[in-house]
Chain A
């Protein structure tokens, strides 16, 4: 479930970067270009505002993706612990002789860890890429807003 949410967020971000972001970027650039005054304090503040607005939109849900990735192994660990509890329940009732009864708990203990690891690792790459992309785009945008009257 967490993995699903994470991937939804990642895809949403990718689509945003591909579709919505260029338009938004252009719109902001246009508002900046329309200004005649580009050197006063007021102009700098307004430029900062534009950059900040765009960066905020760019960065939205990236921290969430990161914390979800951090959460995946934790959830895996939780699954492991509940599985182990089950194993020891069986152990307390049936003694150590019944390996078959314990096997279910053991598999319940190991599979979530594996799933958590897989989800975290797969997410990690995309999270890193997204962060880099976001940083690059925001820098590029601030470069595009020239400070002097051309």
Chain B
């Protein structure tokens, strides 16, 4: 069954009057807002907010669904990114007539998202993650269905905002898909079904990994303001990216939560900057190793590294009382002696990035169980942030104090001439977290 079973969803199903297995929320009442897409209507209008490589990819997937769709609005902080996205989409989908974005519907700058969202039924949120809570709130308030990329925030206040808006989306019957695409990937769905059916017994431990050689760097250019530079080279600034433990490794951390059907209660870990230490590497670490402790005493270890020439692995493995499950190389289940019980051959599996959009637009057009990924998206985002708090501080951090922290990473003002929340010293270097000294939790009421 292709379902993203979050803890909450399961509880809801158990506790609700809906008795049928798999019965969830049905679209019973359509929102009455004039702007919302009403089933049976004609074209489903789409806007993309954040026109980078991933935004272009997501928009292209949205334009590839069976339903009658049209891209009607685009927004990016930068004109050149928007133009390149528009050109690529036109090249790929122009003949289908599905790209219909006149000049007045191309919005550039920090504020354009509001205008773009207003013009659509479905919005694609693919800016750097720091903006996600703001954009998600606007989209749901305006009564729009949402596809948003992971992670969905970079700090605890942002997570709390997304959790709050997620509730509102459900109340309004708005579908929300989050780009944790493993939840839509046949091999993972098959594996999780077996894990949740108890085939490896109770999970008592596990390891999750994203060790790779790193990602792009966008060097500072002549004439850029500090804000523009950070927006371009966003991977290396926490208010925008949240560090790679969040931006990439969330995928594997989320798989741990999914397998456990729970979220950790505390974390402790270590990390640092060993290789990526230059002025173009902002403030983020290049390696983290975290113990995530779950309520039943299970400990799952997470490691992520962005260093060249090291052992690389992107995978998850879990140990249960009866067997092991892994996605390491092969997706398979073994007994405790290592004999294969089941394995998945993914040779002809469909593209999970496309499935995300197929399901979203299908549900919007024809109804059916509401897609509600935002809550798990927010909690898996929080899990990765909890890991980051543990490695930055060097302390044990509990889920509750992390989630309730009032440390906001976001700028006061969003403008290219405004000061970002972190600035370089006279050598062009940024302040870097120091385990043992760095404070990551604040419960003071910030005004």
Decide if A and B are genuine partners. no
- B residues whose Cβ falls under 8 Å from a Cβ of A: none
